[in-house]
Amino acid sequence: MDVDERKAEAVAAAIIIILAALAVGSLLVAAGYYCYIGAKVSSRRKALKSPGSSPGDVRGREEPLDPPARKAEAEVEVVVSAPGAGVQVFAYKQLHSATGGFGRGNVVGHGSFGSVYKGALADGRRIAVKLMDRAGKQGEEEFKMEVDLLTRLRSQYLLSLVGYCSDGCHRMLVYEYMTNGGLQEHLYPTGGLRGGVSKLNWETRMKIALEAAKGLEYLHEHVNPPVIHRDFKSSNILLDKNFHAKVSDFGLAKLGSDKAGGHVSTRVLGTQGYVAPEYALTGHLTTKSDVYSYGVVLLELLTGRVPVDMKRPSGEGVLVSWALPRLTDREKVVQIMDPSLEERYTVKEVVQVAAIAAMCVQPEADYRPLMADVVQSLVPLVKHKSTAKVGSSSSFHHTPPKSPVMPGGSK
């Protein structure tokens, strides 16, 4: 019996040892796994807190200032202290002297945040100086955004930034001088809504339309993320001595979404009559918002009418609402043409441009074309044509073809 008892005790002890070893092993495995999970959680928290991270939940929020814009603001601070190649930093005294003390006689226009003065530097270069008169955070943000964008963007269809002034409380932007000012003042020469007669002929209008379209195409298609102008209008298309057009005034510009079909959410800013309906209603901003604004400018070039004029007869006060039903009717489209053109154009070309305008101002953003498509549609209308002087006679007279058709064969 003693032998059997000892054997039983030995077996029991072995089982206890094995069970204890298994328990210790399980504890070690559990501790190791806990440490692993703790390390992963800690690493994730650090990643979320780091400035360079872009977690998915942040991208989905609808905030007044989107993440790409924050990044742009951070870049602006660097730009202001260290200008890009070819951009000069001016002292206030230099620009005060160049503009004749910012005298009223040198005012040539008004930008999104201040008056614009013409002037000349000591080396003889003619310049335009925008003097910021909007105090507070928004004015500062617009100044920084425009300096940042124009320092980094380079296109012959965008107004060039010569330099800027950030001297004390003074904020100024210095541009190349555009001899013929803004498109708006040439479409409506007296500055009124319907007074005066424009001297812009058909050829010049089409050249301006194409070059302005190329400016937006560059911003939308050749910059990543795309830049949305947000205040594209006829007064922000400037003309040089030969009436070549450049897009200007980037104070309200916004960096768009880098996702196909994406949007950024922001408060609604812009000019009445040019703002896309979906942006006005929801605050959702896309490159198609600029396309809508471009379509309004194209309507101005066709009709010679301002976007909003409530002094006109009932139903004619809003340009888009009045013109859109007529743009796809080859008989009615001729009836809305600017009388100052004196019918010096071909109906075939008018119908083509009207079709482009109609697509650009579609209420649904998805139905609007890309600016690259607009450019390709306008190129044939401008290519191989000699540049006529503004106000000169043109060989394009109102000679209706027997069966004018829309681009692609539609009527």
Give the CATH number, domain containing residue 104. 3.30.200.20
Round to whole Å and give the CA distance between 374 and 319.
20
The pair of structure tokens assigned to 292 is 């809508």
Q: pLDDT grade, residue 69 (50/70/90)?
A: very low
CATH number at residue 330: 1.10.510.10
Residues belonging to the binding site for ATP are 137
8 lies in a domain? no
Last residue within a domain, chosen from 176, 196, 215: 176
Round to whole Å and give the CA distance between 367 and 277.
13
Round to whole Å and give the CA distance between 126 and 373.
35
Catalytic annotation present for 231: yes
The boundaries of the domain holding residue 250 are 183-387+394-406
Same domain membership, residue 140 and residue 190:
no
- The pLDDT assigned to 240 comes to 95
Q: pLDDT grade, residue 38 (50/70/90)?
A: low
Same domain membership, residue 249 and residue 232:
yes
The tens digit of pLDDT for each residue in 4-23 reads 777 777 777 777 788 777 77
Residues belonging to the binding site are 137
Same domain membership, residue 255 and residue 159:
no
- What total of structural domains would you count in the chain? 2
Q: Could you say which of 66, 148, 231, 249 is catalytic?
A: 231
The pair of structure tokens assigned to 224 is 């990543």
Same domain membership, residue 263 and residue 140:
no
Round to whole Å and give the CA distance between 182 and 128.
13
Round to whole Å and give the CA distance between 222 and 155.
10
Last residue within a domain, chosen from 176, 193, 226: 176
Average pLDDT over residues 346-351: 95
Q: How many CB atoms lie within 10 A of CB 372?
A: 16
Average pLDDT over residues 213-242: 95
What does pTM read for this prediction? 0.72
Percentage, residues of the chain above pLDDT 90: 53
Same domain membership, residue 139 and residue 191:
no
Same domain membership, residue 188 and residue 130:
no
Average pLDDT over residues 21-30: 68
Average pLDDT over residues 165-178: 91
Same domain membership, residue 188 and residue 78:
no
44 lies in a domain? no
Q: pLDDT grade, residue 260 (50/70/90)?
A: low
Last residue within a domain, chosen from 176, 202, 235: 176
